[in-house]
């Protein structure tokens, strides 16, 4: 399985890559902002995207909208500090499959990935 981790924080990308590797995901592609995430989805064809919300150049929400507008149905989980109910609704309306609020435990993100992939 190939997962794209899109987050402007190098530390958060490192934590997610480590968590994914320990959870059995061998191929992890990284993006530092929403615009790069859109490019990487098109180039790398990942099986899943973990998308931060607040990033430079293009927000995660804008990136989700652009990915969906291109016709790509890759499962996307928003991983962000934006935990308000209306933000979660905005993300789902934009095309995100699920939502995880930071900070989270490694077990939580791995369970969310399995749950999301089981639905698609």
**Per-residue pLDDT reduced to its tens digit, 16-37:** 999 999 999 989 999 999 999 9
* Domains of the chain with bracketed CATH: 2-119 (3.40.50.2300)
At residue 25, the 3 state secondary structure works out as coil
**Per-residue pLDDT reduced to its tens digit, 38-93:** 999 999 999 999 999 999 999 999 999 999 999 999 999 998 876 677 888 899 99
Q: Which residue, chain included where needed, has tokens 């615009």?
A: 35
60 touches 36 (CB < 8 A): no
């Amino acid at each position: 399985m190939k997962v794209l981790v899109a987050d402007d924080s190098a530390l958060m990308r490192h934590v997610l890559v480590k968590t994914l590797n320990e959870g059995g995901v061998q191929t992890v592609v990284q993006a530092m902002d929403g615009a790069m995430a859109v490019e990487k989805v098109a180039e790398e064809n990942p099986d899943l995207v973990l998308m931060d919300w607040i990033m430079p150049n293009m927000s995660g929400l804008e990136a989700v909208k652009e990915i969906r507008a291109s016709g790509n149905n890759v499962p996307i989980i928003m991983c962000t500090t934006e935990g308000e109910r209306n933000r979660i609704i905005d993300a789902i309306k934009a095309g995100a499959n699920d939502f995880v609020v930071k900070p989270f435990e490694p077990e939580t993100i791995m369970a969310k990935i399995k749950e999301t992939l089981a639905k698609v």
